[in-house]
Structure 1
Amino acid sequence: MGKNKITGPRFEMREKKRRANTVLNTLIVVVIVLIICITWSVFFATGGSKDTAKPTKPAEQPKVSESVEKEPAKEEEEKKEETKTEEKAEPVNGKVMVTDITDPNVVEAYTNPSWKPVGTEQSEPHVTKFDSKSADWKEMLQVAAYATELTVSDIFAQRISNGGGANKVNAVIGTKDRKYMYRVKLEWVTNEGWMPTLVEQLK
């Protein structure tokens, strides 16, 4: 005779317990898998965002732009200063303006690289004469007029005096309309005559 199939309340209890254990084990596996998936996604997502955030530092961006903006401004200021310096030293109509004036009676002063001796009828050795009727006096007035871009007929000699050496004089002249007064420094060039070296416009 074959074995009889086991039935009864005890058998049913065992079956139910077995099914419950199976379901429970399945749920535990599902929960573990979910935990692993969530942990993996959170870990790698956070790590990725940190990695991408590291290279860019927003706080440093303005500093770079500020330095870039400051450099052209600084260069512009330097160019303006250079332009001002060049304007002071640049000849105007051949004149080179003198900037280091210490005499309070001088309005402006200038020299001119193109100035040359105007020639002379006198012979060497030259001796400076302060006689208003001498040839030397007349030539000094001609050179003073030449340096101030005037003519002899436009000016009068207020005073001609020694300029600090045997071959140097200071000729103080004025325009006949009394608007301008000048002090012209002259220097004697051997066999060539008087040559202007500096013009100072006086108050």
Structure 2
Amino acid sequence: MAKYNSRLDRRSKSKSNKVLNIMIAVVVLLIVVVGATILTGNGSDKENASTEVKDEDKNTNENSADRESEQKEDENTVSMDEESNSAESEDQDKKNEEEKEDVPEEKESVALDDSSAQIEEGSEPNVEKTIVHPDWEPVGTQQSGEHVSSYDMGTPDWQEKVKALSYATGIPEDNMTVWYIEGNGGPQKSIGTVTEKGGSTAYRVYLQWTDGQGWQPTKVEELVENDKD
């Protein structure tokens, strides 16, 4: 009986040792697996971190390159705009100079009572006096080619007639009322009747066209009353 119990004890101890060894092996295996997982995870994290840093650097470089490209484009655009504005300004200045050359020089009016004026008593019932001044000149013209006298209000020839009437009488255009402009026996002769705005004295002005130089006053009659009112 005692021998049987001893055998049972040895068998029990042998089984316990096997179980213990298996458990130790399992624990060691778990430790190895966990350690490998941790190492692998750290390596992956490092690789991911490295990749993210590279991507960030790449994005930063690309953004920097884009900003430099945009800046160059903006500078080129500004430069082109400045060149365009400069060219437009030069063209406008040239155009203004050409227009100034085309505009006749403004003639300074000679006073009707100037000492050099030749004043005579009127020879007609409605003429108070007749004035002729030796310094009267053509007022200039922008017309070219064969001259055709126009009596249509607002045309270049009409406007130049008005300018000559103002020049002869000394009444500024913006303060002058033009009552009538008509022909005077020929295509290059005209007569205009004007007064100062709000004024009662009327003047009849005789004009003569000079080719290339414009209308020139030849005589002014101060009227007793405005016969075109």
TM-score, structure 2 length as denominator?
A: 0.47
Query: Structure 2: how far apart are the matches of 1:94 and 1:149?
Result: 15
| Alignment correspondent of 1:135 | 156
| Alignment correspondent of 2:196 | 175
| Alignment correspondent of 1:94 | 116
Q: Secondary structure at the match of 2:222?
A: strand
Q: CA deviation at 1:92?
A: 3.9
Q: 1:145 aligns with which of 166, 170, 173?
A: 166
- Unaligned ranges ≥5, structure 2: 1-112, 225-229
Q: CA deviation at 1:175?
A: 1.1
Letter in 1 for 2:135: S
Query: Structure 1: how far apart are the matches of 2:116 and 2:145?
Result: 31
Q: Secondary structure at the match of 2:157?
A: helix
Letter in 1 for 2:159: K
Q: Secondary structure at the match of 2:138?
A: coil
Q: CA deviation at 1:153?
A: 1.0
Q: Is 1:109 matched up with 2:93?
A: no
Letter in 1 for 2:217: P
- 122-131 or 101-110, larger mean C-alpha shift: 101-110
Q: Secondary structure at the match of 1:195?
A: strand
| Alignment correspondent of 2:206 | 185
Q: Secondary structure at the match of 1:160?
A: strand
Query: Structure 2: how far apart are the matches of 1:124 and 1:109?
Result: 34
Letter in 2 for 1:97: I
Correspondence list, 1:148-163, <5 A: 148-163=169-184
- Superimposed CA distance per residue, residues 22-63 of structure 1 (whole angstroms, 9 cap, x where no aligned partner): xxxxxxxxxxxxxxxxxxxxxxxxxxxxxxxxxxxxxxxxxx
Q: Secondary structure at the match of 2:185?
A: strand
| Alignment correspondent of 1:80 | none
Query: Structure 1: how far apart are the matches of 2:157 and 2:120?
Result: 28
Task: Say what the alpha-carbon RMSD is for the aligned residues.
Answer: 1.3
- 191-200 or 155-164, larger mean C-alpha shift: 155-164
Q: Is 1:123 matched up with 2:152?
A: no
- Unaligned ranges ≥5, structure 1: 1-90
Q: How many residues align?
A: 112
Q: CA deviation at 1:102?
A: 2.0
Correspondence list, 1:16-27, <5 A: none
Letter in 2 for 1:124: G
Q: CA deviation at 1:93?
A: 2.9
Q: Which has the larger radius of gyration?
A: 2
